[in-house]
């Protein structure tokens, strides 16, 4: 007949560890996997930001107010840029000049064709059917001035109007043109 030994403290600890230890190991492995899955800012999507204190991606917007503020700031920046285009402080490309007819503005273009006839010079953005022209009347530019601008990128400031369906600026002085 065998007698049952009383449980000792060591036996109790051994029983607990034999059951709990595998569970602890599995839990630790899961923790490391989750924590290691997001390593840096590039793992966050466009609606998230990286929080370095917890090393995780969190919502980019803490609340709707943050989102509304960001949208309002983007709209204000776009409106400011458009105001700059409308008042001539920002130069617009020649192919967009038709959208700004009737205002004093600044247009940037590469002169690809020049024309001189009877004291009038033209600087065109294209060789055939230009999308923008600069006209010089009253001997504002000389024939050699007109030839000088050929192939150069220029900024021209003045009133944008239509002539034969195409936008143009008639310059009043050489100061209305600046080579970039």
What residues contact 50, with CB distance under 8 A and at least 6 apart?
Answer: 40, 41, 43, 44, 56, 57, 58
- Model confidence at 91, pLDDT cuts 50, 70, 90, reads confident
For residue 72, what pLDDT is reported?
A: 77
3-state secondary structure (DSSP) of residue 102: coil
Q: What is the pLDDT of residue 139?
A: 74
More confident of the two residues 72 and 145: 145
pLDDT greater at residue 55 or residue 14:
14
* DSSP secondary structure string for all residues of 149-160: TTT-EEEEEEEE
Residue where the block lists tokens 């924590």: 35
The CB density around residue 85, as the number of other CB atoms within 10 Å, is: 18
Write out pLDDT tens, residues 30-63.
776 666 554 555 667 666 666 666 666 766 656 6
Residue pLDDT, tens place only, 162-172: 998 899 999 99
Predicted local confidence at residue 56, as pLDDT: 65
Residue 30: C-alpha distances to residues 21, 39, 48, 121, 157 (Å): 14, 16, 23, 77, 66
Judged against a pLDDT cut of 80, whether residue 29 lies above it is answered with: no
Domains of the chain by start residue, with CATH: 37-86 (no CATH), 92-179 (2.40.50.140)
0.85 cut: is pTM over it? no
Could you read off the pLDDT of 99-150 as tens digits, one per residue?
Answer: 889 888 899 999 999 999 888 999 999 877 788 999 998 878 999 999 999 9
What's the whole-number average pLDDT of the chain? 79
């Amino acid at each position: 007949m065998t007698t049952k030994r009383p449980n000792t403290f060591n036996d109790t600890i051994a029983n607990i560890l034999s059951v709990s230890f595998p569970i602890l190991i599995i839990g630790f492995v899961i923790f490391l996997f989750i924590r290691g899955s997001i390593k840096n800012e590039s793992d966050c999507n466009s609606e998230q930001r990286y929080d370095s204190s917890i090393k995780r991606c969190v919502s980019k917007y803490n609340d709707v107010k943050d989102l509304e503020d960001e949208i309002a700031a983007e709209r204000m920046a776009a409106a400011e840029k458009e105001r700059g285009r409308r008042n001539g402080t920002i130069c617009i490309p020649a192919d967009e000049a038709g959208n700004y007819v009737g205002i004093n503005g600044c247009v940037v273009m590469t002169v690809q064709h020049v024309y001189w006839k009877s004291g009038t010079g033209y600087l065109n953005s294209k060789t055939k059917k230009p999308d923008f022209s600069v006209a010089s009347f009253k001997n504002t530019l000389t024939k050699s001035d007109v030839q000088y601008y050929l192939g150069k990128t220029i900024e021209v400031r003045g009133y944008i109007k239509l002539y034969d369906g195409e936008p143009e600026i008639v310059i009043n002085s050489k100061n209305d043109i600046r080579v970039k």
